Structure 1
Amino acid sequence: MKQDKTELIQNGDMYKVLLTLSIPIMINSIIQTLYNLVDGIWVSKISSVHFAATSFVWPINFLFVALGIGLSVAGTSLLSQLLGAGKYKEAREYTAQLMVSSFLLSLVFMIVGVVTSPYIVKLMGGEGNFADLANTYLRISFFDLPFMFLYFNINSIMNAQGNTVTPTILSAISAFINVVLDPVFIFTFNMGIAGAAWATVLSRVVLALFGIKFIFNEDYDLKPDFKGFKFNKKILKEIVRVGLPASIGQIGASIGFMFLNGFIVSYGTATMAAFGMVNRVTSLVMQPAMGVGAALTAVVGQNLGSNQLHRATESFIKASKIALFIGIIGGVLIFVFNKPIVNFFIQSKDEPEVIIQSITYMKYVAFSMPLMGMFSVFQGIFQGSGNTKYSMAMEVGRLWFVRLPMILIFKSFYNFGPSGIWFSMSFSNFIICLYGLWVYKTHGWKRKTISA
């Protein structure tokens, strides 16, 4: 089966390759997104302030997750190139180094996060009861970091081999547990916002444990061997070289979102709630395009590893067509059906302003949906080739050099109100995709990481 996937990736019809790999990733990503959506729906039944609190602290938690994502990107890129070059023994050694180093880091981040949580919320501008709710949700969320990091590793190991089905099955099980536990913890046990956080933590524990079972019980080409384990400086250096730019990109984006949330909450909790709700919906709608971008990472990596540059280029072109199609359809749907979508996800009607602002933001963001799809495709080709400095530049540049300056200008010099935020969110996607296209055209991405 694994050899069939490798054969498909390196020699099969490219549309079939992309769809075969990306459809399970799409489903997996949608399931992962449901964690936040389900939390949001149940928490919004308490009040819009509770809903806003969950959105407010998301960038903080993501800041700590960023390094795990960078290591996962490095894993998929390096492992897929090694498999493409037929270097299985070396690939297994990379796998063990990746898992041990990332798990130890996750434990450190969990402790730091739990200790610093209230100070970070206060630094971001959270006050009073809103800050208490945000801190409660955030502090509990930090306990799932070790399990998230483990799952990131497992996901990159499987994806590098073209196995995108097993992670989807695992995510489905975990999401079902989360859906069941949320109302029980929030309302039956009367835990409120803390219940939503604990439900997510427990569901991710199950996700990681089942993933470990699959990795060690099945005959994987990349099954890690920890007997006599010692840190390999050469391998760790290579993982850091590829993973660090991806992590910096994610960290830069999450810090940017912390500042962005500070601007948004200054307009009131209604604006914060609208921002969080629409972002969750657009994230869900764009999961198919993001799945294509994630699949592209393995496709580009394996084909560059086997010295098939023409297939890596072909995969980018065809992935772009798929992502643009998905983005156009998604944009039309959320523009046309904005009111019923908002009314479904905002269960508490205690603050009508949340509904009004959500509908306005949704109309703005609908036009940039195709660009969000292309953003994922550019990330896929840069990460697959191991040139993560370009994906880092896109992550950081979109927020720090386009989005935040525009929002600051609109807030300081123009009386656009929240509409200045909504326009800046959409327009920044256009600018950063122009940069991605420029990098692609200048051929800077074609240097592979692993020499065959």
Structure 2
Amino acid sequence: MAESKKNAIQKGDLTEGSIVSKLVLFALPLIAGNIVNQLYNVADSLVVGNFVGSDALAAVGVSFSVMMSFNALFFGLSMGAGILIAQCFGAKRQKQLQDAVNTAFTLTLILGAAITVLGVLLSRGILTLMQTPENIMEDSATYLSIIFFATIGNLVYNMGSGILRGMGDSRWPLLFLIFCSVMNVALDLVFVIFLRMGVAGVAWATLLSQCSSAVLVLLRIHFGGYAARIQFRHLGIKKESLMHILRLGLPSGIQEMTFSAGMMIIQSFANGFGSDFIAANSIIMKVDGFAVMPMMGLGSAIATFVGQNMGAGKLDRTKKGIRAATGIVTGIGIVMGVLFLLFGHYLIRAFTDNQPVIEMAMNGLRFLAFIYTIMGIGSVVSGAMRGAGASIAPMITSLCGLVVRIPVAYFCAVLPHNYMGLFVAMASAMIVNCSLISIYYFKGNWRSKTAVHAEVKEQAE
């Protein structure tokens, strides 16, 4: 048994071997997974935009920001759990690793139930506060009322994927995501085209596919022969593991919540430009995601890489990995920006034939194409800082970006009634965030912030 645990740990070990090849091989499934996840979201918009209409497309776009706001705290805590698991895995601390897995899963069930109840009760009121246009209010409320029942499935999949990544396995989460994305597209087509269920059909397709992905990831963790598994008979909250998860994840959770609240404010600004722009903005976010998702994948990969290597006490290897990831993401940003400038209009036309919507979407996408490199560097360095245990720094820099974004959006978009001001505000926030987190990295304070690694190591000694 001890030998099998040792082999399981070695299988996902990022603390030995070629830095670039280890990082790239670990990151590729994450990047592919994020792209597949984006396709998963795009499928809903393509089906709705082409078979229901632009108002329904706008309704799904508005609903997405509300749903993300409710899930924001959990996503931060799941980052904390993944970092803790990576650090325990890198430090070869079996008991702490198992406690972290059990605690993370228990926390997921509790928060999933709470988010479901609150989301169903409050979603319509929030849509009203966001000044959602009357012509899309009912579709938005219908979509949300169904999609919130998928919350537990969504959270279980995300936490389960984080657990697997923390133990060095980024391949199986990708395979499950591909399977469930295909399932989602098939159900979209059946429910919307053949059963004519409209926006509700898209929501039901998402619910069923997300619950399926949750079941698959749970089975893999439990029966996959990893260094730790979910022990259903011993579920519960271990105080020590919970405190570590909160210390690592709460800053990210607060960051995600604040960012999502800010996005709801920005969405309310966007709603003031009418349903055509709401639809255009929804398309931009879907197309833009194909550039953002590889960067987020590298950000997640470097967080695990840094977590394992800091857990193993390998600072020099950690810094080399951060430099490698930054170089890779810079190249991705340049390539994606050029591709969108040249071919973006073809992607946008796949969603709608509404000419005003197409024109507004293309104007926004052309602007964003120039900031992808900045966005990518910020994502990678922030992920590295979280992996090292310095989660407060990315939180602060992100909040600073938000503090800049909202007033810039108001003065450049709302007052002159010019929707392009919303993209100027986004670029301003990205520049502020990237600059501040880069300054923090070069100062080197993050090297002394690995509290969890130090405590785990001391306990072992």
TM-score grouping bracket, smaller chain normalisation: over 0.9
Aligned residues of 1:245 and 1:392 also touching (Cα < 8 A): yes
1:229 positional shift: 4.2
In the TM superposition, what are the counterparts of 1:176-191 in structure 2 within 5 Å? 176-191=182-197
CA RMSD, 1 decimal: 1.5
- Name the counterpart of 1:379: 382
CA distance in 2, matches of 1:326, 1:231: 40
- Name the counterpart of 1:404: 406
Aligned residues of 2:102 and 2:237 also touching (Cα < 8 A): no
* Farther-moved stretch of structure 1 (167-176 vs 425-434): 425-434
1:5 positional shift: 4.0
Aligned residues of 1:324 and 1:373 also touching (Cα < 8 A): yes
CA distance in 1, matches of 2:248, 2:125: 32
2:333 is the counterpart of 1:324: no
Which structure 1 residue ranges, 5 or more long, are not aligned? none
- Name the counterpart of 1:99: 105
Question: Match for 2:57: what amino acid?
Answer: F
Aligned residues of 2:413 and 2:420 also touching (Cα < 8 A): no
| 3-state SS in 2 of match to 1:223 | coil
- Name the counterpart of 2:60: 54
- Name the counterpart of 2:114: 108
* Farther-moved stretch of structure 1 (320-329 vs 69-78): 69-78
| 3-state SS in 2 of match to 1:10 | coil
- Name the counterpart of 1:15: 20
1:412 positional shift: 5.4
CA distance in 1, matches of 2:345, 2:69: 32
| 3-state SS in 2 of match to 1:221 | coil
Describe the superposition over 1:320-357 as per-residue Cα deviations: whole angstroms up to 9, x where unpaired: 0000000000000001112212112x23x2x3211111
CA distance in 1, matches of 2:28, 2:68: 25
Describe the superposition over 1:256-289 as per-residue Cα deviations: whole angstroms up to 9, x where unpaired: 1110010011011121111111111111223222
Question: Match for 2:367: what amino acid?
Answer: Y
- Name the counterpart of 1:216: 222
In the TM superposition, what are the counterparts of 1:341-356 in structure 2 within 5 Å? 341-344=347-350, 346-347=351-352, 349=353, 351-356=354-359
- Name the counterpart of 1:450: 453
1:429 positional shift: 1.2
2:300 is the counterpart of 1:299: no
1:227 positional shift: 3.1
| 3-state SS in 2 of match to 1:30 | helix
CA distance in 1, matches of 2:248, 2:295: 23
Distance 1:56 1:95, change over 3 A: same
2:245 is the counterpart of 1:243: no
1:108 positional shift: 1.2
Distance 1:115 1:412, change over 3 A: closer
Aligned residues of 1:2 and 1:162 also touching (Cα < 8 A): no
| 3-state SS in 2 of match to 1:337 | helix
| 3-state SS in 1 of match to 2:422 | helix
Question: Match for 2:29: what amino acid?
Answer: P
2:70 is the counterpart of 1:64: yes
2:369 is the counterpart of 1:363: no
CA distance in 1, matches of 2:12, 2:211: 31
Describe the superposition over 1:285-320 as per-residue Cα deviations: whole angstroms up to 9, x where unpaired: 232222111110110001001111111111111100
CA distance in 2, matches of 1:171, 1:394: 31
2:28 is the counterpart of 1:28: no
In the TM superposition, what are the counterparts of 1:115-264 in structure 2 within 5 Å? 115-264=121-270
Describe the superposition over 1:384-425 as per-residue Cα deviations: whole angstroms up to 9, x where unpaired: 1122112222333322x1211101111355x36111112222
Aligned residues of 2:251 and 2:392 also touching (Cα < 8 A): yes
- Name the counterpart of 2:3: none
CA distance in 2, matches of 1:6, 1:189: 45
CA distance in 1, matches of 2:92, 2:307: 12
CA distance in 1, matches of 2:188, 2:136: 21
Aligned residues of 1:37 and 1:280 also touching (Cα < 8 A): yes
* Farther-moved stretch of structure 1 (442-451 vs 367-376): 442-451
Question: Match for 1:269: what amino acid?
Answer: S
Aligned residues of 1:93 and 1:224 also touching (Cα < 8 A): no
CA distance in 1, matches of 2:132, 2:417: 24
| 3-state SS in 1 of match to 2:446 | coil
Question: Match for 1:382: what amino acid?
Answer: M
Aligned residues of 1:182 and 1:196 also touching (Cα < 8 A): yes
TM-score (norm 2): 0.94
* Farther-moved stretch of structure 1 (357-366 vs 372-381): 372-381
319, 329, 333: which one pairs with 2:339?
A: 333
252, 261, 275: which one pairs with 1:269?
A: 275
TM-score (norm 1): 0.95
CA distance in 1, matches of 2:58, 2:334: 29
CA distance in 2, matches of 1:286, 1:230: 36
Aligned residues of 1:68 and 1:152 also touching (Cα < 8 A): no
CA distance in 2, matches of 1:161, 1:94: 12
Aligned residues of 1:157 and 1:222 also touching (Cα < 8 A): no
Question: Match for 1:165: what amino acid?
Answer: R
Question: Match for 1:422: what amino acid?
Answer: F
Aligned residues of 1:303 and 1:311 also touching (Cα < 8 A): yes
| 3-state SS in 1 of match to 2:313 | coil
CA distance in 2, matches of 1:259, 1:78: 33
| 3-state SS in 2 of match to 1:11 | coil
CA distance in 1, matches of 2:105, 2:236: 12
2:41 is the counterpart of 1:40: no
Question: Match for 1:193: what amino acid?
Answer: V
CA distance in 1, matches of 2:430, 2:342: 21
What fraction of aligned residue pairs are identical, expressed as a percent?
A: 27
| 3-state SS in 2 of match to 1:367 | coil
Question: Match for 2:294: what amino acid?
Answer: P
Aligned residues of 2:326 and 2:377 also touching (Cα < 8 A): yes
Aligned residues of 2:378 and 2:438 also touching (Cα < 8 A): no
- Name the counterpart of 2:316: 310
389, 393, 396: which one pairs with 1:390?
A: 393
Distance 1:76 1:266, change over 3 A: same
- Name the counterpart of 2:430: 429
